[in-house]
Amino acid sequence: MAKPLSYTLILAFLLAVIVFPVDAKPDTTIVVTTLSVLQDYVQQIGREHVTVTSLISGLENGHSYALKPSDILAVRQAHMFVTIGAGLEVWAKQLVESAQNSTLEVVVTSKGISLLRNTGSIHTKGGKHTFGNPHIWLDPENAKSMIRQITTRLIKLDRANRRDYLANQAEYLRELDTLQADIKRRVKKLPDRRFISHHPAWPYFARRFGFKIVGNIIEHSGAEPSAKHLSTLVQQIKKTGIKVIVSEPQLNQKIPQILSDETGARVVTLTAMPGALPGTNTYTSMLRFNVSTLLETLSP
Ligand SMILES: [Zn+2]
């Protein structure tokens, strides 16, 4: 059972209904996504046939996001709601219930993707449900599966434009194939592919392209590292000669800097969310940016 909404939230919601009607292009499928990466996928496939917005911008932290009354309104007025699932958006269920939109098409894009469980898994309160690591989209092979699900659902809602969706999908999947091959070729030349990561966002990316994540500064979202954990990381970096610490703009920048000051390893800022750094507005430009930044820093 979802918790009943407070009067303040209901009042704010009613005000939002009056003040902010959705500004959709006429005759488009209105899509709301949780994350900016999903917004980009929907835009690539739907193009002129969709009006798509993301609840969370590239710079916000998807794990600790606090729902706003305008989010309920957006989902109430949408045809489709696209999520990652796998425990990432712990607030999505309550959002859908509060929106009371009986015709809403809910897409859980992690469906059918096998999750990595070693690090970064999400544990709900009480430990009843344990999900795997939800950062699936950073492997383009997973992205392809997510994109196919989005295409299928867009066609379900708007059969008249089926050919367009399929053509856009084919073009986008080809672009991802080319990008993936290009990244593999560039990474292959690299003798040292090890890094320390800020939070466990990168295991799918690392597995696909042959990087090695030696340690994480924080193991779960919301957790702060202990002094003991940090001193273990410092020793590990010194002993094994790790050259790179990957920081993320959505998280506290201080701790990666402290580790760098202690060890001489360089901090580089990558993003798992499109739009968080200049030159990362789309999924593909974000992947290129992350790989180029890693290559520059790791190259001998
Ligand atoms: Zn994350």
Instruction: Give the CATH number of the domain where residue 235 resides.
Output: 3.40.50.1980
Report CA(120)–ligand 1 centroid distance (Å). 8
208 in a structural domain: yes
pLDDT exceeding 70 applies to what percent of the chain? Answer: 88
Report CA(50)–ligand 1 centroid distance (Å). 27
Instruction: Tell me: do 168 and 94 sit in the same domain.
Output: yes
Report CA(273)–ligand 1 centroid distance (Å). 9
pLDDT beyond 50 at 86: yes
Report CA(198)–ligand 1 centroid distance (Å). 10
Report CA(85)–ligand 1 centroid distance (Å). 12
Instruction: Tell me: do 175 and 68 sit in the same domain.
Output: yes
- From 123, 155, 180, give the residue that closes a domain: 180
Report CA(159)–ligand 1 centroid distance (Å). 35
pLDDT beyond 80 at 175: yes
Instruction: Tell me: do 18 and 136 sit in the same domain.
Output: yes
Report CA(156)–ligand 1 centroid distance (Å). 30
pLDDT beyond 60 at 125: no
Exposed, middle or buried by CB within 10 Å (0-12, 13-18, 19+), for 300? exposed
Our count of domains for the chain comes to 2
170 in a structural domain: yes
Instruction: Tell me: do 24 and 157 sit in the same domain.
Output: yes
Mean pLDDT taken over the chain: 90
- From 148, 180, 212, give the residue that closes a domain: 180
- From 158, 180, 202, give the residue that closes a domain: 180
Angle (nearest 5°) at CA 230 between 224 and 232: 140
Instruction: Tell me: do 202 and 167 sit in the same domain.
Output: no
Mean pLDDT of 124-143: 79
Q: Are the C-beta atoms of residues 271 and 290 closer than 8 Å to each other?
A: yes
Report CA(61)–ligand 1 centroid distance (Å). 7
Q: How confident is the model at residue 213 (pLDDT cuts 50, 70, 90)?
A: very high
Which helix (H) or strand (E) covers residue 196, if one does?
Answer: strand 194-197
Mean pLDDT of 226-247: 95
Instruction: Tell me: do 207 and 86 sit in the same domain.
Output: no
Report CA(62)–ligand 1 centroid distance (Å). 7
Report CA(92)–ligand 1 centroid distance (Å). 16
Mean pLDDT of 149-154: 98
Report CA(135)–ligand 1 centroid distance (Å). 6
Report CA(16)–ligand 1 centroid distance (Å). 29
58 in a structural domain: yes
Report CA(201)–ligand 1 centroid distance (Å). 5
The CA-atom distances, in angstroms, between 41 and each of 36, 44, 289 are 9, 5, 18
1 in a structural domain: no
Instruction: Tell me: do 34 and 151 sit in the same domain.
Output: yes
Q: Are the C-beta atoms of residues 136 and 146 closer than 8 Å to each other?
A: yes
Instruction: Tell me: do 171 and 43 sit in the same domain.
Output: yes
How many CB atoms are closer than 10 A to CB 223?
11
User: What residue numbers bound the domain in which 245 lies?
Assistant: 189-298
pLDDT score, position 1:
42
Report CA(6)–ligand 1 centroid distance (Å). 29
pLDDT beyond 50 at 126: no
4 in a structural domain: no
Instruction: Name the amino acid, one letter, at 281.
Output: N
129 in a structural domain: yes
Instruction: Tell me: do 32 and 175 sit in the same domain.
Output: yes
Which of 64-73, 151-160, 223-232: highest mean pLDDT? 151-160
Instruction: Tell me: do 293 and 251 sit in the same domain.
Output: yes
Q: How confident is the model at residue 183 (pLDDT cuts 50, 70, 90)?
A: very high
Instruction: Name the amino acid, one letter, at 115.
Output: L
Query: From CA 133, how far away is CA 122, in angstroms rounded?
Result: 7
3 in a structural domain: no
